Chains A and B, each alone.
Chain A
Amino acid sequence: MSLVFDAVLCLVLLAGALGVVTTGAARPAVIAFIGYGLLLGLAWVRLAAVDVALTEIAIGSGISGVVLLRCVRALPAEPLTPAPNRMLKPLAAVVSITIAAALAAVVLALPEPAPSRAADVAAALPATDLGNPVTGVLLVFRALDTLLEKVVLLLSLVGVWALSRDPACRGRPAPLSPEPAPAPSAFLARVLAPIGVLVGLYLLWAGADHPGGAFQSGAVLAAMGLLLVMGDQIRTPAAESRGLRLLLLAGPFGFLAVGFAGWATAGVFLGYPPGAEKAVIIAVEVAITVSIAVTLGLIVLGPPAGEERP
């Protein structure tokens, strides 16, 4: 029976993806994309990857939806592209079906038994005192990836801010809505956001032993911040604020500092001090959660609009 469920889920997922790419107009395509992200989250659950499902639902569907809807508003009503060549669509279909068929053949030819690092992770996990293997991989075994990813997040924020009209990048990002928030949005922000912050902190706390962790928690916190901005409960933060920049840098640079300290305490870059692994890992996780939340929120809000004229 579970196989039937999987098959139905796959078909609905494909229908959603086809809906996104075949809908001509921008707004319906973005709405379909939000639904597609939701279905992808369900698919991850069925693949026993709950950590990934949480990330996909929070980032792939939730926050991406805000960014994309915002972009649709800024686009002109009808794009000024010339009518495409009549041969384009059939040709594109042939190319994509060929690629999909080749990949399907690869999937069918995956080696048996499947290669796996699960046993290695299980053997090394007790040394970290963590119960969640994915958190262990992210913060210990492949910590360099995670560190570099923090840098990518920061760089992408720098890229977004570089598009500001103010060369010095001062001021606040434009609010998400050009008008005051309607009453229901304000109500949601007042009631739902505190609960959401609680859920975000719970995911961080649970992340050591159960699915969850810094990414999921940071994404939820960022989403709640955006909800507060949309409900006019808080203003968008000023880009030149020192506190804000400190929060942005706390994660990557805190992680980097721990990494360098690893040479002194554990004899290797990104090593954790023996005996205090879990405490240091959790400290790093808290720092990067804060940075992820603030960075994601600011990336969504967009470039600062320049200094305010009183």
Chain B
Amino acid sequence: MADLLFAAATLLLLLAAAGLAALWRAGNDVDRMLAVQLLGAAGIAVLLLLTPATGDPALLDTALLLALLAALAACAYRAAFGPARQKAGTPPAVPRP
């Protein structure tokens, strides 16, 4: 059983890597953030699969943390690159018409 769970986790990791590679070359930066989200979701699933496979219940805490912090990067991206984005050298924003 543990071997099968490991196989499933490997498959998930490969899927995430494939998606990551494809999006990385094709997309813009929002797509790359999406790819990281995909990796996060796959990471949660992998950790859940590894919990019974290794018999260590503490892995669930890691999955919990991953699920919790998945949103942080997206929010930080949005906060850093909003529409009123300022370049370091430009004067303060003028309200758009």
Direct contact between the two chains A and B in their complex (CB within 8 A):
yes
CB within 8 Å for A185 and B89 given contacts A42-B47, A199-B64, A223-B72: no
List chain A residues, Cβ under 8 A from B80: 69-70, 72-73, 176-177
> How far is it, in angstroms, between the C-alpha of A223 and the C-alpha of B71 when the chains are bound?
10
CB–CB B62/A177 < 8 A: no
Interface SS of chain B: helix
Q: Is A1 an interface residue (CB 8 A)?
A: yes
Interface residues in B1-47 by Cβ distance below 8 A to A read 2-4, 6-7, 9-10, 13-14, 16-17, 20-21, 24, 29, 32-33, 35-36, 39-40, 43, 46-47
Q: Known: A74-B88, A77-B87. Contact between A231 and B61, CB under 8 A?
A: no
Tell which of A50-58, A258-266, A286-294 binds the partner.
A50-58
Once the chains are docked, how many angstroms separate the CA of A212 from the CA of B58? 9
A57-B64 Cα distance, complex, nearest whole Å: 11
Chain A nearest Cβ from B87, distance in angstroms: 6
Which residues on the A side are within 8 Å of B65 (C-beta)? 54, 57-58, 199, 203, 216, 220
Instruction: Verify B47–A45 contact, CB threshold 8 A.
Output: yes
Q: How far is the CA of A152 from the CA of B13 in the complex (A)?
A: 37
**Are the C-beta atoms of B83 and A38 separated by less than 8 Å?**
no
- Tell whether A231 pairs with B75 under 8 Å between CB atoms, given A1-B6, A12-B13, A31-B33: yes
Q: What number of B residues sit within 8 Å (CB to CB) of A?
A: 55
Q: How far is the CB of A272 from chain B (nearest CB, A)?
A: 26
* Chain A, residue nearest B68 (CB): A196
- A230 within 8 A of partner (CB): yes
- The residue from B7, B20, B21, B77 contacting A69, defined by CB atoms under 8 A apart: B77
State the CA gap A9–B82 with chains docked (Å). Answer: 34
Q: How far is the CB of A300 from chain B (nearest CB, A)?
A: 9
B36 partner, pick from A1, A35, A199, A220, beta carbons under 8 A: A35
Q: How many A-B residue pairs have CB under 8 A?
A: 166
Smallest Cβ distance from B56 to chain A, in angstroms?
7
Task: Determine how close the nearest CB of chain B comes to the CB of A13; give it in whole angstroms.
Answer: 10
Does A299 sit within 8 A of B, measured CB to CB? no
Binds B, one of A60-68, A103-111, A157-165: A60-68
Residue of B nearest to A178 (CB): B84
Size bracket of the A interface: 35 or more
Chain B residues with Cβ below 8 Å from A76 are: 87-89
Contact indicator B17/A227 (Cβ below 8 Å): no
With A8-B10, A8-B14, A57-B66: A62-B72 Cβ-Cβ less than 8 Å: yes
Query: How far is A146 from B39 in the complex, measured between Cα atoms in Å?
Result: 33
Q: Are A182 and B78 in contact (CB under 8 A)?
A: yes
Residues of A within 8 A of B81 (CB): 27, 69, 73
Question: How far does the Cβ of B38 sit from chain A's closest Cβ, in whole Å?
Answer: 9
Within 8 A of B (CB), among A1-15: 1-2, 4-5, 8-9, 12, 15
Question: B59–A45 contact, CB under 8 A?
Answer: yes
- The residue of chain B having its C-beta at the shortest distance from the C-beta of A132 within the complex is B58
Contact status A34-B36, CB under 8 Å:
yes
Can you list 24 pairs linking A and B with CB atoms under 8 Å apart?
A1-B6, A5-B6, A8-B14, A8-B17, A27-B81, A34-B36, A35-B39, A38-B36, A38-B39, A45-B47, A45-B62, A54-B62, A57-B65, A76-B88, A176-B79, A178-B93, A179-B84, A188-B75, A192-B71, A196-B68, A199-B65, A206-B61, A227-B75, A231-B75
